[in-house]
A and B are shown apart, each in its own frame.
Chain A
Amino acid sequence: MNPYINLLLEGTLETILMVTLSLVISAVLGVPVGVILTLTKSGGIAENKRIYKGLGWVVNMMRSIPFIILMMLLIPFTRWIVGTSIGTIGTIVPLSISAAPFVARIVETALLEINPQLIESIVAMGATPFQIIKKVYFVEAIPSLLRNIPIIAIALLGYSAMAGAAGGGGLGDIAIRYGYYNYNTQIMIITIIILIALVEIIQTTFNILAKKLDKRL
C-alpha cells in the first residue's frame, strides 16, 4: 500500500469540497447576473442599455483578471469573510468570485438560445417577467445549462490546483509539496491521474444528465 494513500484521499476530498462549494456559491452570485444581462439585452423583455452595458463591463473586467492575481487581491476580503486566506476554506472565496462572472456569461448564453418568438408568445399569454424567468427560462434552458456546468467545474478544478500551489490545500497542494519539492514523481503522477479521473467523472455525469433531461432528444 502506498503510504500516502490517506493524504491523497484527504486531498481529493478537499478538492471536491472546494470545487463543489465554489460552484454553488458562484452560481448564487452569477445566475442572477446572467438573468439580468438576458433581460436587459436589446430585444430582452426588460431592455435597458445602461444596465446591460454597466453589468457587462463589470463582468468582463472581472473575467480578465488572472485568477492568481485575483486571489492575491482578495486576501484581505477573504480573511474578513472566512477568517483565513489559506487552506481549503480560504480558497473557496477567490474561486467563487472568479467563477461568478463566468457563470453569468454562460447563463446569458444559455438563455439567449431560447427562441425570442417563444418568449414573445409567452408574454402574449399574459405572463409576468418573474413567471417567464421561472417557468420558461429555467425550464427550457436546463439541458443547455447542465451541459455547461462541467466547463465551469473543470475550470474551477484547474484553479483549485493552482490555488493549492499557493497555499490553498487540496490536490494541487499535495502535487507541489510532495510531488515537486520532494521529487516524489509517484505522488505527482497519482495526483494527475486523480485530476483526470475527476474531470472525466464531471463531464460524463453532466452529459448523461443533460441527455436524460432534454426532451428535444
Chain B
Amino acid sequence: MIKITHLTKTYQVNNQPLLALDNISMLIEDKSITGIIGMSGAGKSTLLRVLSGLVSPDSGGVLIDGMAIMDMDAKELRSLRKRIGVVFQGYQLLMQKNVFKNIAFPLEIAGYDKEYIHNRVHQLVDLVGLSGKELQYPAKLSGGQMQRVAIARAMATNPSILLCDEPTSALDSVTTKEIMKLLVEINQKENVTIIIVTHEVGIVRSICHHVIVLDEGKIEEEGLVSNVFTNPKAQITKLLLGKEY
C-alpha cells in the first residue's frame, strides 16, 4: 500500500514560490490501477517524482509498504527504486543501446548475472509483445514500440509498483488502446500496483479503478472512477470531462 500524507512541494520560479503540491493525502491499494488526472501544470509529474524519490517534498510523507521514503539514505533509496518501476513522459530510452540492452539496463545496474538477465529480458520482451525486435535500436521503432520497451524496462526488476507519466500522450488512438491493454495485462499477470498520470479522461475511464483529480497542486476530487465520472462534483472534473459529461 502507498500512503501519502500532507505532501507539500514548493518550487521557486523567478523568485516567486510556486505551490506545485498543496497538502496532498491519499491511499493507494495494492494491485489497483489509479489514475491521476489534471490539466498541464497541475502537479502530476511532480507527484510522481516525489513518489519515486527523485524530488523531496517540503513537508509530508510517503509510506511505501510501511517504509517512509523521506527517512531513507541514498543507498536505501536506490534499493527501494528497484521495487518501483517508472515509465517516464517521452519514453526516455537509451538511444545508443538496442531493445535488449535497454530492457536489461536496470538488471545490469542491480548486478544480476548474464544468464539471469538474458532469461528475464526474454520474458519481458514476450510480455510486451516485442519478440524479434531485441536487436533493433530505439530510433527505428514506432512510438508504441518505444513505449513497450519503456514498460518492459520499468518492469525488469519485478517492481511491486509501476508509475506511468503520460504513457500515451504521444500515441495515436489505436496504439493508445494497445498500450492500455498491455498495462491491464501487466497489472493482472504481474500483480503490480499501477499509477497512471494523464490528462486524458478516456484512459482513466477505460482502465483505472480509482481516480484522483488534481488541480493547481490540490486534490479536487477522488474516488471510484464509476462514481466520480458519472457524478462529478468539482468544477475541474466537469471541465476535464468536457463534452463527455
Which residue from A128, A143, A217 sits with its C-beta under 8 Å from B78? A128
Instruction: Tell me the minimal C-beta distance from A216 to chain B in angstroms.
Output: 5
Q: Kindly list chain A residues whose C-beta atoms are within 8 Å of the C-beta of B110.
A: 126
Report the bound CA distance from A42 to B234 in whole Å.
Answer: 39
* Interface contact B81-A126, CB-CB below 8 Å: yes
Q: Kindly list chain A residues whose C-beta atoms are within 8 Å of the C-beta of B94.
A: 118, 136, 139-140
* Interface contact A125-B137, CB-CB below 8 Å: no
Report the bound CA distance from A141 to B228 in whole Å.
Answer: 47
Nearest chain-A residue to B97 (Cβ)? A139
Within 8 A of B (CB), among A101-135: 115, 117-118, 120-128, 131, 135
- 29 residue pairs of the A-B complex, CB under 8 angstroms, read A117-B90, A120-B54, A120-B92, A121-B86, A121-B88, A122-B105, A124-B52, A124-B53, A124-B84, A124-B86, A125-B81, A125-B82, A125-B105, A125-B153, A126-B77, A126-B79, A126-B80, A127-B78, A128-B109, A135-B105, A135-B108, A136-B94, A139-B96, A140-B94, A143-B96, A215-B95, A215-B137, A216-B137, A217-B139
B89 interface residue (CB < 8 Å to A): yes
Nearest chain-A residue to B74 (Cβ)? A128
B61 interface residue (CB < 8 Å to A): no
Q: Which of B53, B95, B157 has the most CB of A within 10 A?
A: B95
Q: Kindly list chain A residues whose C-beta atoms are within 8 Å of the C-beta of B82.
A: 125-126
* Interface contact B109-A135, CB-CB below 8 Å: yes
Count, chain B residues at interface, CB 8 A: 32
Which residue from A115, A128, A213, A216 sits with its C-beta under 8 Å from B92? A115
B144 interface residue (CB < 8 Å to A): no
Instruction: Tell me the minimal C-beta distance from B54 to chain A in angstroms.
Output: 6
Count, chain A residues at interface, CB 8 A: 24
Q: Kindly list chain A residues whose C-beta atoms are within 8 Å of the C-beta of B139.
A: 215-217
Q: Kindly list chain B residues whose C-beta atoms are within 8 Å of the C-beta of A217.
A: 139
Report the bound CA distance from A20 to B110 in whole Å.
Answer: 38
B106 interface residue (CB < 8 Å to A): yes
Q: A139-B97, A215-B96 are in contact. Are A126 and B88 (CB under 8 A)?
A: no
Report the bound CA distance from A142 to B138 in whole Å.
Answer: 16
Report the bound CA distance from A154 to B137 in whole Å.
Answer: 32
Interface set of B (CB-CB < 8 Å, partner A): 49, 52-54, 77-82, 84, 86, 88-90, 92-98, 105-106, 108-110, 137-139, 153, 157
Nearest chain-A residue to B150 (Cβ)? A121
- A200-212 toward B: CB 8 Å interface, digit per residue (1/0)? 0000000000000
Q: Which of B81, B94, B106, B139 has the most CB of A within 10 A?
A: B94
* Interface contact A126-B92, CB-CB below 8 Å: no
Report the bound CA distance from A173 to B77 in whole Å.
Answer: 59
Q: Kindly list chain B residues whose C-beta atoms are within 8 Å of the C-beta of A118.
A: 92-94
Which residue from B95, B108, B109 sits with its C-beta under 8 Å from A140? B95
* Interface contact B92-A117, CB-CB below 8 Å: yes
Which residue from A120, A125, A139, A216 sits with its C-beta under 8 Å from B109? A125
Report the bound CA distance from A98 to B92 in whole Å.
Answer: 37
Report the bound CA distance from A201 to B138 in whole Å.
Answer: 31
Instruction: Tell me the minimal C-beta distance from B15 to chain A in angstroms.
Output: 15
Q: Which of B54, B80, B92, B106 has the most CB of A within 10 A?
A: B92
Report the bound CA distance from A125 to B108 in whole Å.
Answer: 11
Q: A117-B90, A131-B109, A217-B139 are in contact. Are A124 and B96 (CB under 8 A)?
A: no
Q: Which 10 A-B pairs have the closest CB atoms?
A: A126-B81, A121-B92, A126-B78, A215-B137, A125-B106, A121-B88, A124-B86, A216-B139, A118-B92, A127-B109
Q: Kindly list chain A residues whose C-beta atoms are within 8 Å of the C-beta of B86.
A: 121, 124-125
Nearest chain-B residue to A143 (Cβ)? B96
Report the bound CA distance from A123 to B81 in whole Å.
Answer: 9
Q: Kindly list chain B residues whose C-beta atoms are within 8 Å of the C-beta of A139.
A: 94, 96-97
Starting from the known contacts A215-B96, A216-B96, 19 additional A-B residue pairs (CB-CB under 8 Å) come to A117-B88, A120-B92, A121-B86, A121-B88, A123-B54, A124-B54, A124-B81, A124-B86, A125-B82, A126-B77, A126-B106, A127-B109, A128-B109, A139-B94, A142-B96, A215-B139, A216-B137, A216-B139, A217-B139
